[in-house]
Chains A and B, each alone.
Chain A
Amino acid sequence: MRNFIGMTLALSLLGAAPAIAADAMDIVKKANHASYYVGDDGRAKVAMAITDDQGRAREREFVILRKDEDETDGPQNFYVYFNKPADVKKMVFMVHKNVDRDDDRWLYLPALDLVKRIAASDERTSFVGSHFYYEDVSGRGINEDLHELIEENDATYVIRSTPKDKDAVEFAFYKNWIHKGTSLPIKTEYYDVNGNVLRSYAALKVDLVDGHPTVTAAEMKDHQSGGKTVMTYSDVKYDVGLPEDIFTERYLRKAPRKYLR
């Protein structure tokens, strides 16, 4: 979901980005914005192809709806409606993403008509069995790391980010290659203390959606286990005009079909 998720200023920011001397935090803010906050809201169909180290394939398909609470690139609501695999079809995962505390999460199990409140989990564990983590999908707080600009060329900035709380994460630091023209992170590598790559992200395809450059295919490789997940987005739309109450119990029990097709 890197990049499906964003706000109207993206393009105008592009103009400013190369002109002024780049400050690392500034770049990270813009990247965060371009990745997760495009438009006031958005929707996309997501297909995940998960391959493990032994070549076994798994598929996930879901529709994700997102709405920002305000213009601060802060709290957001997510509604994830699963279509595949068949055993999770019609299940809904809902998140109210908070800035100052753990996210609130719900799971709706249609066969039981059960709305289950679920405990906030470690953000750095697998999202629905893929090689993407929750944090990759919803965005890692930009204040959780110290950022430095370590390289720059015509196309990209390279930012090195070191976690403030080392015990909370599995990596020692990560590097982010951020495309200057769009502020989109196009490559990310997570390293251990010895400088070995643990996981790596790569944007595979970028499309222009409603005027916003949007990553529509991306992959995450796990260099330890050898597996990888490729995510592709289709039917991406920004500024859908999602009503506020989509992200409530009412629509967990009664899926808002209009927005999920």
Chain B
Amino acid sequence: MIRLWVSMVVVFGFAPMALAQDVTLPEGLGNLTALKPPQEKQAGLPVDLSGFLETRMGARLQNDPLQKDMSLGEARLQIGLEKQVDRLTFRVVSDFIYDPVQDIYDIDLERGQGVIDLREANMVFSPLDFMDVKLGRQIITWGTGDLIFINDLFAKDWNSFFIGRDTEYLKAPSDALKTAFFFGDTNLDVVYVPRFDADRFIDGTRISYFDRARGKLSGRDMPVRAARPDDWFSDDEIALRLYRSFGAYEAALYYYDGYWKSPAGQDQVTGLATFPRLSVYGASLRGPVQAGIGAVEFGYYKSADGAAHNPLVRNDELRLLISYEQEVGDELTGSLQYYLERRLDYGAYLATLPVGAIRDDRNRHLFTLRLTKLMMQQDLKLSLFNFYSPSDRDGYLRAQVSYKIRDNLRLEAGGNIFYGAEIHSFFGQFQDASNVYSALHYDF
């Protein structure tokens, strides 16, 4: 106390003295004894409201006789509400969509069809100091990949991704119980999905796909008919992530038990596409490397029993991802990824392959390059993301320009360009779906 008093005397003694010629003392420093604590403001609304309104239009660059010319045309309103009651946080985020291209207005929350797409409806609480629970519809993401996922086996929406919706729509919601345990350095996430959540996969209704059974493209004429596991509590999924930091490095182990998220098999009797059983064991490591961030992620995909000898079920696989990101210039970031998908039991696969069927390579190699440049006080963002597979001889280029007219108003334009030497390869089959789009997006 005495020290404080002495200090204040000293400060007081100095304050009124003459100022330097070329500097003005800020308000408050002229007389330090007069300094007062600033006024505190009151809190706002009882419910936290946020969202956006946007229109998004897209057109195909090629003619696909199996699809509409417009790849995308929709008006979307998103409303997010969050409310805290005691120690519970409730959150609902829902999209309301008018989409004449899809032209389906009946609501199917699972498939993300119709005028309502419920993105989140969950509650969050911490029953114990070392435990967080999130229960309900939610978006879940983990792993180290940039638009490539090995151990993140939560639902994706590939249609949204390929036609130029915002990247957040690549993740489809999961109806899940997520429990996170924190034991000091080591933490565990447990996600339980009581009823299987499939990807919103490419089924032909928006984007045509190569139909191996017919040996040609199928679209709106022949959408994929799938038999999805849909019994509550028996057709369930569980995903675990055990992670901890070692200094600046983050290591994780993963386990998943459920189903292939997109069709990976066919029922011999009904001809329906199936989601065979799948278990995944994985690991990842991420941290600083040189001037950037490096990561490696690995996954062993254990497909349904007997997959190796069943040509109608996808085989076991090894998947590997190596990535590196670094700032390469002024407000310019570059990242590179190498991804490998290696089919196991390749001999068995070849042996069971029907005569005349398309033969997949043992290894699928994929490289990605991302460049992101910010300009004009970060109001203008240029982004380029290219997937290229030397083994499939195909690729996919995502380009986007985004400009903020005001803080809340953004104009976007971009393209999704698919290319390939063959019509049946992963990206090659989507060549007719190459598109350009633009969007006007207003946040509130």
Q: List A residues at the B interface (Cβ < 8 Å).
A: 11-12, 14-15, 18, 50, 52, 58-59, 84-87, 89-90, 96, 101-102, 104, 109, 111-115, 117-122, 125-126, 128-130, 151, 153-156, 158, 177, 179-182, 184, 186-187, 202-211, 213, 215-218, 227, 233-236, 245, 249-250, 253-254, 257, 261
Contacts and interface: CB of A to CB of B under 8 A. Distances in A.
Contact of A211 (B4, B142, B180): B4
B408 A129 contact: no
B262 to A, nearest CB: 19
B421 to A, nearest CB: 33
Contact of B18 (A115, A122, A154, A227): A154
Contact of A206 (B19, B27, B170, B408): B27
Contact of B26 (A11, A50, A186): A186
A245 B129 CA distance: 12
B206 interface: no
Contacts of A261: 43
B180 to A, nearest CB: 7
B7 A126 contact: no
B330 interface: yes
Interface in B49-105: 50, 52, 84, 89
B210 interface: no
Interface in B177-211: 180, 182, 187
18 contacts: A12-B7, A14-B10, A52-B377, A85-B408, A112-B168, A113-B138, A117-B295, A119-B325, A128-B378, A180-B14, A186-B23, A206-B27, A206-B29, A207-B28, A208-B32, A213-B28, A233-B38, A249-B187
B6 interface: yes
B428 to A, nearest CB: 28
A207 B26 CA distance: 10
The dominant DSSP class at the B interface is mixed
Contacts of A213: 28-29, 32, 35
B26 A113 contact: no
Contact of A217 (B3, B26, B35, B36): B26
Contacts of B27: 204-206, 217
B23 A234 contact: no
A251 to B, nearest CB: 10
A120 B327 contact: yes
Most chain A CB inside 10 Å of its own CB: which residue of B29, B36, B327: B29
Contact of B23 (A12, A86, A156): A156
Nearest to B144: A117
Nearest to A151: B20
Contacts of B25: 155, 179, 186
B277 interface: no
Contact of B407 (A84, A111, A177, A257): A84
B23 A113 contact: no
A129 B187 CA distance: 35
Contacts of B330: 122, 125
Given A206-B29, A211-B4, A216-B28, 9 more contacts: A15-B7, A112-B168, A129-B378, A156-B20, A179-B29, A181-B10, A182-B32, A186-B23, A210-B37
Most chain B CB inside 10 Å of its own CB: which residue of A114, A204, A209, A261: A114
B379 interface: yes
Interface string B123-150: 0101000001000001111101000000
B37 A154 contact: no
A205 B141 contact: no
Interface string B375-409: 00111000000000000000000000000000110
A206 B26 contact: yes
A102 B286 CA distance: 15
B227 interface: no
B292 interface: yes
A82 B428 CA distance: 41
